[in-house]
Structure 1
Amino acid sequence: MLFNSCKSTKHVPDGSYLLTNYAIQCDDKSINKEELEIYVKQHPNRKILQVLRFHLGIYNIANSGKERKWKTKIGSVIGEEPVIYDEFLTQKTVKQLGIYVDRKGFYNAVVKDSIHYKKKKATVFYQIKANEPYRIRNVSYQFDDDLIKPLIFLDSVNSLIKNGKILDVDMLQDERVRVTSVMKNKGYFSFTKEYVYFKIDSSFKSNQVDIVIGFKKDVRTNENNELIERQHNLYIIKNIYVYTNFDPKEALQLKDGYYSSADTTFYNQIFFLNNSFVRVRPKIISESIYISPDDLYNQTDVDRTYKSLLSLGQYKLVNIKFSEDADNTLNCIIQLSPFTMQSYTAEIEGTNASGNSGVAGNILYQHKSLLQGGEIFDLKFKGALEAQSATENEVDGVIQENLAFNTIELGAEGKIYIPKFLLPIRSIEFVKKYRPKTSLSGLYNYQKRPDYTRDLVNMTFGYSWQSANFYKHFVNPLELNFVSITENSLDFLNAIQDPFLKASYTDHMISATSYSLIYNNQSEKGKEDFFFIRLNAESAGSILTTAHNILQSTKTDGSYTIFDSKFAQYVKSDIDFRFYKFINKSSNIVYRFFGGIAYPYGNSEVMPFEKKYFAGGANSIRGWQVRTLGPGSYADNNVPIQLGDIKLEGNIEYRFKMFWLIEGAFFVDAGNIWAINTKDTREGAVFQINDFYKQFAIGTGFGTRFDFSFFVFRLDFGMKIREPEFVSGKRWLPANHTYTKNDFTINLGIGYPF
């Protein structure tokens, strides 16, 4: 009531009006309303959830009652003065909208405004009556340079300007850019969009025009500094010079001496010039260069070369330029300014692993080109303390309690990224087309938790490549995990009544193969709607089981083993789907769906616990603590960790800018996890096709985010709305139950939840 009542006009002067809203009404759907919004010169005060004028309300509070320094400070930082309706800005908007619709071909359009006043508030309506647009009747061409005529006519089928289309000035400009791109990709290095012009004949009475697309000759300056015209020439690449350790500062100081002192290596028709040691072998650099001697100049090849060289991760600056020779040839000069070869970093950071908060210290070492092949080597040593859910004995039984820093984690991890496939495909054509990478990693991790102590050894061999603009592929042909549970808490094991589940917490080994596909069409410009989709598929143990069957190995406790450890056999797949909808420059909505299933078979009756799904926590359903929700309607507070084989989850989050570095969010989360095997004895835990939807948990809440650009700190307050562990028909809160402190959670996180 505070922000929406008449108090919102408290500081509006008499005779003035608070601008509360505006609307653009257009009777032609072909006119883009989002583009029309750009030309509105006066906007109302910002809203949260499209309803609350939060910032105006803060301003009114800060400027009411007795003057206080803290109120004034809050008002200046968070508050927003009332937007007073301005007739001048309204008329300016009308004029700008008229100019815009003219550009779009609606030269007979009528743009008007009307104001609706109510008390001290005003709403502005902009009405656009489009009328009949001007359309293109005929398209013809005019050439001052006949040599380019065949190419233009051959490409005319792709022209944006066609008979019957509306005369859109922006379309004409886009056509100039498109034609210029075609010319530059066909060898016309010096061609620019200024050489394309249009003649428009609008003398007809039927809202039709004839367009002549004209092409000027090339304009140059001769030795007498006079402008002369000549035909457009094709340019051929003559030589390619690559400065592999280019230092702009030294080059500026030493001038010609800098270039003449460089050592030169000729490889694959490219001259490599180096003023110091060889950092990356010429072979690796040449695989990222799409420009070739004796080829016609091609702008697309230049752009691909630029992106590919940057993607090596070796250079902070890539500059590609050309010098013309008198015989219409080009010398290509590529200047590569490298990063520091080796770096050391010490970090202290706050952590949030699945909702459990803590502090960690890292020592990182990086070598940018370990074997002179562009290999990036990372070595990391980590120590961490974390607060986990603990299980303790008390007189009245086993309870959960959050203890500060009761988990110790120590580890070391080494990774190397190689800018090509090691096996089986190593052709240069494949490298240039897909920019593949190979990764090798090894990890040791020691973790002492309240419930168990484990050692984890991981070794992974993987590939990644990009097949199209928005698609990335990741394949791990081999991933090995050795997990040793060296110490289990008796309270923890005794709390697990189900022997089937208890088998998850034993020594085991995983030999897996996995594939991931990521689709992300996020624009580099930002603030545009986009989709993010990730598909994962994983299989483990089938090859090992087949080998044991062939060798007729002996089973131990019904399972084959390697190094006295049972190896897991399963298949697993999941999808993560997200849609980011931008409402305006300061707010957006994110929709997310996650679905996954894991199925153990053959050598395994249960999934390894690190491969199971969980629900609850900072990145899941935030009304529940991490790993405490589910599975299904199962309820047992004696077990601090609940895991499942199937997971379904949906989230909706509305994000909005508040003030300074602070953003706000409202969210609704829903979902659960389930067991897949009917041998699981936990009541209500097994997935049933006719009953699973009745076991959805629902939570809601509010969050604040502190956006420091290089990272986001997040604080989410979650609240339960529907609790699946309650009796069916009485699962909604608060209709059937009184809220307790266990129905609320505070989640700390680093970064956005999704």
Structure 2
Amino acid sequence: MKNITTKIALIILSGWVLYSCSLVKNVPDGKHLLKKNDINVNGEENNDDDHKAQMYQLPNTDVLGWHIRLNIYNLANKDADSSYQAWLVKNPGWHNFLTRTLSEKQVQRLGNSFFVSGFSNFAKKTGEPPVIVDLNRVKKSRNRLFAYYYKKGYFRSKVTYTIDTLENKKAQVNYNVVTGKPYILDSIATFIETPALDTLYTTNRAKSQIRKGDQYTETNFTAERERITSLFRNNGAYTFQQNNISYVLDTVGNNYKANVDLIIDNETVRRGDSTFVRPFRLYKISKVNIYTKNPTSADQAVDSVSYNGFNLYSMGKLNYRPEALTDAIFITPGSTFADYRRVLTSRYLSNLRVFNYPTIQYVEDPDDPTGSSLISNIYLNPRKKFRFTPSADFTHSNIQDFGIQGSLGLSIRNIFKGAEILELTTRGNIGSSRDQAIQDRSFFNILEYGADVKLTFPRIFFPFNTEKIIPKEMIPSTLMSFGISRQRNIGLDKENFTGVLTYNWTPKRTDRWRSRSAKLDLFNIQYIRNVNAENYFNVYQSSYERLNGYANEYASQVNPVYFRDQSTPGTNGELIIESGTNGFINDVLATPAIVTVSPEDERNISRIEERRDRLTENNLIFSTNFTYTTSTKEGLTDNTFFIFKTKAESAGGLLSLLSPLMTENKDIPVGNRTIFDVQYSQYIKGELDFIKHFDLRRGKVLAMRAFFGLAVPYGNSTSIPFARSYFAGGSNDNRAWQSYSLGPGRSGGLNDFNEANLKMAYSAELRFNIFGKLNGAIFGDVGNIWNIWDEVDDSDYTFNGLKSFEDLALGTGVGFRYDFNFFVLRFDVGFKTYNPGKEEGERWFKEYNFSKSVFNVGINYPF
């Protein structure tokens, strides 16, 4: 054993030495590979991201200490073409053979071909050359560190550096920063020549970003410049720009105190070859002209309309009701010029989806002798009235071996001349499946089809005026949608009817919250009808297998006609679906019981029957829900942001008030009442969803997501409809389990589709670039689902306080993602690290192997 250990240690040590030497393969003699930048500030090490960002040179990128890109680069032949030429000289016979076969010109060109230089070129392009310590860059890094602290008020800081050479042609650069005392703002004086601007500044001075007693920070001066510019331009100063603001800082002999002069001179105006100075003017809007094109009447005369002070012009007859356009315009005649009005107008017009991005221009009104009026010209270019969107796709799933999916959509813009949009969509899918639940054995044995109608209004469609509650600055809209779909020859053959009335609006943005959105489904109606409920045990095979096991265990008491023909090979002991399964369940649960089983087996058989009743019953869901989302994300390249989303839903409340008035519910207690002979669902539901991204620099991002959801049945329901319940597992959830296969609790995922009414989930992954557009990830997913406050009382399935946190499943794994710019193709491998469905002592790492792993393929990131 001792010899084996020594050999293993020797192999590891040898491998490490070879790996270390390979890193400096392309480092010239006398040069050194940069191993580390060590930054010391006032005697303490400080190598955070802000300080690293000041470096002109950073060590080669690594993944968990492995310099993969540098190693790829080192695999390349430094000069493949020269090596090829040397090979030709060394092997004249081959040179002559190639010349006879090809031509001398082609032989020479082979040196740049893929066969000779291809891999080397790929390795150089994909890999990363060694970062060699450069004295000039070290000095630049030192200067940048000095500037970094200078901008924070340390005007007398000192920055020095040393270079420590290490073995194996490596080096470490040490930076030492002595900051000294920071400068503190003392007096702040303003010199604003334009009286109107001086008054504006004085009125809003309390919001200043630079205050007496604060440490000097350049970012505060920049923020103050932006604040002043926004203040002035939103109060009429159309010609004011940031460069009109200047600061003068006096630090001479003030004992680390700085006096600040804020200076805003008058406006400099250029007219022809001459310039002159005048006070800034505060402009008002005298006219607002709205120009729209009419593609169908381009050669007709201009149609003009005046409405509420707005002037509307169109080539040909105006195709819009005037208020539909003016309601979207926040720049109004008589109002003061303000930048925010232009931004709101652009956002509102773009949100209509009727026009292309608008053009908004301002010109001075020549009819105003004071020169303080502006004319706003707004140019709208309508999109095409009709838009067809056909689509076709080939699909594959765990049930559908092959499918052809298609849809045809028609959008009609401005259908009622109020910028409304009507969308009509038909969709269909035919497919092939060998699933045993499908009795039809023909090739195309799956059929699904449906249709949707959506009507969007660019305002709140409501009998009463909602302007005071949701003003038009929030860009409100109303969506009415209706849909119907039919699924045949798969599962329980469902019919689905939906009707939704949705209000959307955008609450006011703030500096902290980059964007907000609110959505209210005033009515969300869904009716689900199971056409082929008798096919349940063909679809849910795990339930059938457990029931069949009980039937075989008590076979001596079971009526033989419940089983398939005993003379048929391969069918011994199999209950007939549906007569045999129903007969056996009824005999066990009868009073008195015809088939006597143990109390525990009776409970389990009762649960199988309860689950069957629940999943085959028709559902009527009449709900209202509200969703609120806040986000700090700025664009697709932002890697430091968070998104918080919360949702509250209530179902069945209105129907519970109406149902007692219907004759079908006469003398029927709550819990069994129906609407049009369908038992309606009643529950309340709440969700919290939080996503946070941290930018770790150099292509590394730490992404996290936390989710909590709870749905509680009450009144007319003892459980949550399957369509509104929670499941765990899948490519966007716990990736070590397949969809619907995790939980509830520590039950072990016994059913084909496991669901419950409580869910907790947390995921984190470290994303990093491998090379080029190929990225990698290391992730961990924690979570599970439970039953709580519903009809399930088995402790293995239910949430029982703090002890149930032992049921949280942990999945870990690795992923690869390729960025195609317009979407990301994702491949993840998840391993069951902690499986609460196993016996204690068998939960940790017992399934941590590829044979038990789960492969996930997805589009874009999971969160």
User: TM-score, structure 2 length as denominator?
Assistant: 0.78
Residue 378 of structure 2 is aligned to residue 334 of structure 1: yes
User: Would the aligned equivalents of 1:632 and 1:692 in 2 still touch at CA under 8 Å?
Assistant: yes
In structure 2, distance between residues paired with 1:525 and 1:628: 33
Name the stretch that deviates more: 324-333 or 238-247: 238-247
Residue 652 of structure 2 is aligned to residue 541 of structure 1: yes
Q: How does 1:340-419 map to 2 (within 5 A)?
A: 340-349=384-393, 360-384=405-429, 408-419=447-458
Q: Deviations over 1:667-688 (max 9, x none)?
A: 1111111222564376721222
User: Would the aligned equivalents of 1:78 and 1:658 in 2 still touch at CA under 8 Å?
Assistant: no
Structure 1 counterpart of 2:677, one-letter code: D
Shift of 1:77: 4.4
Q: How does 1:234-245 map to 2 (within 5 A)?
A: 234-245=282-293
In structure 1, distance between residues paired with 2:446 and 2:196: 76
Residue 756 of structure 2 is aligned to residue 644 of structure 1: yes
Name the stretch that deviates more: 63-72 or 411-420: 63-72
Residue 35 of structure 2 is aligned to residue 20 of structure 1: yes
Q: Deviations over 1:467-510 (max 9, x none)?
A: 23233211111111111111224333574352222122222211
CA 1:513–1:168: 2 relative to 1, 3 Å: closer
Structure 1 counterpart of 2:622, one-letter code: S
Residue 483 of structure 2 is aligned to residue 443 of structure 1: yes
Structure 2 residue aligned with 1:490: 537
In structure 2, distance between residues paired with 1:168 and 1:350: 58
Q: Deviations over 1:322-362 (max 9, x none)?
A: 11134321111111223333222223447799999976433
Segments of structure 2 that go 5 or more residues without pairing to the other structure are: 1-14, 84-114, 510-514, 544-604
User: Would the aligned equivalents of 2:495 and 2:529 in 1 still touch at CA under 8 Å?
Assistant: yes
Residue 681 of structure 2 is aligned to residue 568 of structure 1: yes
Match of 1:322 among 354, 359, 362: 362
Structure (1/2) with the larger strand percentage: 1
Shift of 1:276: 4.2
Q: Deviations over 1:11-59 (max 9, x none)?
A: 3222222223324333499x9965554432122222224x322212222
Structure 2 residue aligned with 1:56: 70
Residue 540 of structure 2 is aligned to residue 476 of structure 1: no
In structure 2, distance between residues paired with 1:154 and 1:213: 16
Q: Deviations over 1:257-300 (max 9, x none)?
A: x9x95321111211111124534432122122222212222222
Structure 2 residue aligned with 1:401: none
Q: Secondary structure at the match of 1:157?
A: helix
Structure 1 residue aligned with 2:826: 714
Structure 2 counterpart of 1:416, one-letter code: L
Residue 241 of structure 2 is aligned to residue 227 of structure 1: no
Shift of 1:441: 0.9
Structure 2 residue aligned with 1:253: none
Q: Deviations over 1:599-653 (max 9, x none)?
A: 222222222111111111111111111111111122365x321111111111111
CA 1:551–1:584: 2 relative to 1, 3 Å: same
In structure 2, distance between residues paired with 1:490 and 1:200: 82
Q: Deviations over 1:53-81 (max 9, x none)?
A: 22122223445999966633541443222
Name the stretch that deviates more: 308-317 or 382-391: 382-391
Greater relative contact order, per chain length (Cα 8 Å cut-off, separation 6+): 1
Q: Secondary structure at the match of 1:458?
A: strand
CA 1:650–1:355: 2 relative to 1, 3 Å: farther
User: Would the aligned equivalents of 2:60 and 2:131 in 1 still touch at CA under 8 Å?
Assistant: yes
Structure 2 counterpart of 1:379, one-letter code: L
User: Would the aligned equivalents of 1:348 and 1:361 in 2 still touch at CA under 8 Å?
Assistant: yes
Q: Secondary structure at the match of 2:801?
A: coil
Structure 2 residue aligned with 1:420: 459
Name the stretch that deviates more: 416-425 or 625-634: 416-425
Structure 2 counterpart of 1:504, one-letter code: R
In structure 2, distance between residues paired with 1:472 and 1:202: 47
Q: Deviations over 1:346-404 (max 9, x none)?
A: 234477999999764332322332222222333333334689995679xxxxxxxxxx9
Q: Secondary structure at the match of 2:844?
A: coil
In structure 2, distance between residues paired with 1:416 and 1:270: 28
Structure 2 residue aligned with 1:132: 181
CA 1:386–1:568: 2 relative to 1, 3 Å: farther
RMSD, aligned CA: 3.3
Structure 2 residue aligned with 1:514: 625
User: Would the aligned equivalents of 2:38 and 2:47 in 1 still touch at CA under 8 Å?
Assistant: no
CA 1:132–1:355: 2 relative to 1, 3 Å: farther
CA 1:56–1:424: 2 relative to 1, 3 Å: farther
Name the stretch that deviates more: 491-500 or 5-14: 491-500
Segments of structure 1 that go 5 or more residues without pairing to the other structure are: 251-257, 394-403
Shift of 1:571: 1.8
User: Would the aligned equivalents of 2:26 and 2:130 in 1 still touch at CA under 8 Å?
Assistant: yes
Q: Deviations over 1:715-746 (max 9, x none)?
A: 21111111222112321123xx68573x2111
Q: Deviations over 1:680-705 (max 9, x none)?
A: 37672122224311222111111222
Residue 758 of structure 2 is aligned to residue 629 of structure 1: no
Name the stretch that deviates more: 511-520 or 301-310: 301-310
Match of 1:87 among 110, 135, 159: 135
Structure 2 counterpart of 1:549, one-letter code: P
In structure 2, distance between residues paired with 1:155 and 1:622: 53
In structure 2, distance between residues paired with 1:339 and 1:109: 59
CA 1:563–1:661: 2 relative to 1, 3 Å: farther
User: Would the aligned equivalents of 2:294 and 2:317 in 1 still touch at CA under 8 Å?
Assistant: no
CA 1:12–1:240: 2 relative to 1, 3 Å: same
User: Would the aligned equivalents of 2:670 and 2:715 in 1 still touch at CA under 8 Å?
Assistant: no
CA 1:16–1:350: 2 relative to 1, 3 Å: farther
Structure (1/2) with the larger helix percentage: 2
CA 1:375–1:128: 2 relative to 1, 3 Å: farther
User: Would the aligned equivalents of 2:482 and 2:500 in 1 still touch at CA under 8 Å?
Assistant: yes
CA 1:415–1:227: 2 relative to 1, 3 Å: same
CA 1:449–1:694: 2 relative to 1, 3 Å: farther
Structure 1 counterpart of 2:54, one-letter code: Y
Structure 2 residue aligned with 1:311: 351
Structure 1 residue aligned with 2:512: none
Structure 2 counterpart of 1:581, one-letter code: F
Name the stretch that deviates more: 357-366 or 136-145: 357-366
Q: Deviations over 1:394-420 (max 9, x none)?
A: xxxxxxxxxx99865332222222111
Structure 2 residue aligned with 1:44: 59
Structure 1 counterpart of 2:384, one-letter code: T
Match of 2:640 among 522, 529, 546: 529
Structure 1 counterpart of 2:61, one-letter code: R
Structure 2 counterpart of 1:658, one-letter code: I
CA 1:161–1:607: 2 relative to 1, 3 Å: closer
Structure 1 residue aligned with 2:258: 209
In structure 2, distance between residues paired with 1:612 and 1:281: 45
Structure 2 residue aligned with 1:9: 24
Structure 1 counterpart of 2:627, one-letter code: S
Q: Deviations over 1:167-214 (max 9, x none)?
A: 444443433332222222222222223333333333325133322222
Structure 2 counterpart of 1:6, one-letter code: C
In structure 1, distance between residues paired with 2:397 and 2:381: 38
Shift of 1:427: 4.9
Structure 2 counterpart of 1:423, one-letter code: F
In structure 1, distance between residues paired with 2:671 and 2:262: 80
User: TM-score, structure 1 length as denominator?
Assistant: 0.88
Q: Secondary structure at the match of 1:214?
A: strand
In structure 2, distance between residues paired with 1:388 and 1:745: 22
Match of 2:767 among 655, 663, 683: 655
In structure 1, distance between residues paired with 2:432 and 2:713: 31
Q: Secondary structure at the match of 1:640?
A: coil
Q: Secondary structure at the match of 2:783?
A: strand
User: Would the aligned equivalents of 2:644 and 2:691 in 1 still touch at CA under 8 Å?
Assistant: yes
Q: Deviations over 1:522-569 (max 9, x none)?
A: 124843422212112212123212322344624499622233322212
In structure 1, distance between residues paired with 2:122 and 2:404: 32
In structure 1, distance between residues paired with 2:834 and 2:537: 33
